[in-house]
Amino acid sequence: MKKYFFIFLFIILIISVSVFLFYYSIWSKENKIEQKMVSKALHEIAVVKEVDEVSYYAGEKQYYFILGKDVNKIQWMIWLNEDDIHYKPLSNWVRKEEIEQRALEMVPNIEIIRIAYGVNEQEQLIYEVLYQDKEERLGYIYFNLFDGKLIKIYRLGKME
């Protein structure tokens, strides 16, 4: 009986280590790509000296967004991928907290899952708000990053 117990524990240990290594390899690869994009941005856009936030947007075109500051503490947004790099000072922009408030007022009784920076089809900088309502339907709300105006709302079906 003890023999089977130790065999069972050994199998559980092997499975646990395998699952950990699998997920770690995925995380590690994504982390290396993110670090590569940050290095590229700081090298090509020398004005940014301090990185505050890095995020990924998977819209029509995929971009990494880097929020950072220059030596004068002015906020900058850099968005880049393997092919393109863009940047803009953010002296006049709407903060995520205000966008969260607007989304909650526009669509009541929702839970906001995430708010991400993005670029729409017209090459405008946007906020993408992913939410879930009480019926467990997912939805997206898109706002202009600079003036906070609503661009569009999508409501999807239930999560499975």
pLDDT digits (tens, 9 = 90+) for 81-139: 888 899 999 888 999 999 999 999 998 899 999 999 999 988 899 999 999 988 888 99
Cα-flanking dihedrals φ and ψ of residue 144, to 5°? -70, 135
- Cα–Cα distances in angstroms (integers) from residue 74 to residues 39, 62, 69, 78, 115, in the given order: 20, 26, 5, 13, 22
141 and 113: one domain? yes
CATH code of 149's domain:
3.10.450
pLDDT of residue 37: 78
pLDDT of residue 112: 95
Strands 75-80 and 150-158: unpaired
- Cα–Cα distances in angstroms (integers) from residue 39 to residues 33, 35, 59, 66, 102, in the given order: 10, 6, 22, 11, 34
Count of domains for the chain:
2
Average pLDDT over residues 24-40: 67
83 and 102: one domain? no
65 and 140: one domain? no
Q: Which of 89, 121, 141 is the last residue of a domain?
A: 89
pLDDT of residue 100: 95
The 10s digit of each residue's pLDDT in 53-91 is: 899 998 888 899 999 998 899 899 999 888 889 999 988
132 and 63: one domain? no
* Structural domain range at position 48: 2-89
Average pLDDT over residues 20-46: 67
pLDDT of residue 27: 52
Q: Which of 59, 89, 119 is the last residue of a domain?
A: 89
- Containing H/E element for 140? strand 137-144
CB within 8 A of 103, min separation 6: which ones? 110, 112, 115, 129, 131, 141, 143
81 and 119: one domain? no
- Containing H/E element for 144? strand 137-144
CA angle 7, 11, 12 (to 5 degrees): 115
CATH code of 11's domain:
3.10.450.40
36 and 18: one domain? yes
pLDDT of residue 98: 95
Does this model's pTM top 0.85? My answer is no
Largest CA distance in the chain: 71
